[in-house]
Amino acid sequence: MEQFDLIVIGSGPAGEKGAAQAAYFGKRVALIERRAELGGAGVNTGTVPSKTLRESALYFSGLRQRGLYGIDYSLREGLTVAGFMHRKDAVVTAERRKIAANLAAHKIELIAGTARFEDAHTVNAVDQYGAPHFLKGEVILIAVGSKPHRPPEIPFDDKFIFDSDSILAMDRIPKSMIVVGGGVIGCEYASIFTAMGVAVTLVDGRDRLLPFLDAEISELLRSRLADLGLTVLFNERPKATKCTDAGIHMMLTSGKDLEAETVLFAAGRRGAVEGLGLEEAGLGVNQRGNIDVNDHYQTHVKHIYAAGDVIGFPSLASTSMEQGRVAMCHAFGFPYKQRLASQLPMGIYTIPEISAVGETEESCREKKIDYEVGRAKYANNARGQIVGDFSGMLKVIFRRDNKQLLGVQILGENATELIHLGMSVLEAGGKIDTFIELVFNYPTLSEMYKYAAYDGLGNLAGHKLREG
177 strand-pairing partners: 200, 262
96 domain-assigned: yes
- Please give the span between the terminal C-alpha atoms of the chain, in angstroms, as a whole number: 66
Q: What percent of the chain has pLDDT over 70?
A: 96
**Residue 131 confidence (pLDDT):** 93
At 280, the pLDDT band (50, 70, 90 cuts) reads very high
Which CATH number belongs to the domain containing residue 196 in this structure?
A: 3.50.50.60
Asked if residues 328 and 141 have their Cβ atoms less than 8 Å apart, the reply is yes
Q: Give the model's pLDDT for residue 109.
A: 97
Whether 328 and 361 map to the same domain: the answer is: no
- pLDDT-derived band of residue 373, with 50, 70 and 90 as boundaries? very high
Q: What is the pLDDT at residue 168?
A: 86
Instruction: Single out the residue of 202, 184, 416, 170 nearest to residue 309, CA to CA.
Output: 184
Of the pLDDT bands very low, low, confident and very high (cuts 50, 70, 90), residue 377 is very high
pLDDT of residue 72: 57
Average pLDDT over residues 203-217: 95
Residues 263, 275 within the same domain = no
Instruction: Please state, rounded to an integer, the average pLDDT across all residues of the chain.
Output: 92
Q: Is the domain of 276 the same as that of 253?
A: no
Long-range CB contacts (< 8 A, 24+ apart) of 422-429? 422/357, 422/358, 422/396, 422/449, 423/341, 423/343, 423/345, 423/357, 423/358, 426/343, 426/357, 426/358, 427/341, 427/342, 427/343, 429/404
Q: What is the DSSP letter of 348?
A: E
What integer is the mean pLDDT of 300-316? Answer: 94
Across 80-102, average pLDDT: 89
Instruction: Give residue 83's pLDDT band: very low, low, confident or very high (50, 70, 90).
Output: confident
Residues 183 and 283 in one domain: no
Average pLDDT of the residues in 90-105? 95
Mean pLDDT of 90-113: 95
Question: What pLDDT sits at residue 443?
Answer: 97
Give domain status of residue 48, yes or no.
yes
pLDDT of 71 > 60? The answer is no
**So what's the pLDDT on residue 85?**
82
pLDDT in tens, 134-164: 999 999 999 999 999 888 889 999 999 999 9
**305, HSE (Cβ side, Cα atoms, 13 Å):** 30
Domain with 31, as residue range(s), is 2-147+270-332
Q: Mean of the pLDDT values across residues 105-128? A: 96
Residue 333 has pLDDT above 90, yes or no: yes
Residue 156 counted as domain residue:
no
Q: Characterize the bridge pairing of strands 161-163 and 262-265.
A: parallel
- CATH number for 440: 3.30.390.30
